[in-house]
Structure 1
Amino acid sequence: MHAKSRAQQMAAGVALSAKRGDRKASSLKGASKSMLRSIGEAELHDMAATRQKGKPGHTSKS
């Protein structure tokens, strides 16, 4: 699955670094914390590797 926004991509990158042990999981907040618990490493990698060009900063909830 690819990231739908830059914010989602950034959160996936932070969660991926925590999953790999480069960052403490206790330092995570919000979306990155829930991604760490619910998404596997391969899917986090796919989301974090999504190109940012043309992506909105945040997506609307509607």
Structure 2
Amino acid sequence: MPAKSKAQQKAAGAALAAKRGDAKVSDLKGASRSMEKSMSEKELEDLASTKRKGKPEHADDPS
């Protein structure tokens, strides 16, 4: 499942880093914290690897 926005892709990347032990889980906030708890490493990889080109900054942005 590809990320729908740049923000979602960035949050998935932060959650993936924490899940792999490259970052502290305690440093996560908001969406990335809940993603780390509720998603598998594979799901986070899929979201984080989405290309950013052409994506809006946030999913509800009309641009």
- Scaled by the length of structure 1, the TM-score of the pair is 0.94
Report the RMSD for the aligned CA atoms in angstroms.
Answer: 0.5
1:6-50 CA deviation, whole Å, 9 max, x = no partner?
000000000000000000000100000000011100010010000
2:57 aligned residue: 57
Matches for 1:1-62 after TM superposition, within 5 Å: 1-60=1-60
| Structure 1 runs of 4+ with >3 Å offset | none
Question: Whole-Å Cα distance in 2 between the matches of residues 59 and 11 of structure 1?
Answer: 13
Structure 2's unaligned 5+ residue stretches are none
- Scaled by the length of structure 2, the TM-score of the pair is 0.93
Question: Whole-Å Cα distance in 1 between the matches of residues 49 and 36 of structure 2?
Answer: 16
Q: Residue 26 of structure 2 aligns to which amino acid in structure 1? A: S
Structure 1's unaligned 5+ residue stretches are none
Question: Whole-Å Cα distance in 2 between the matches of residues 24 and 30 of structure 1?
Answer: 14
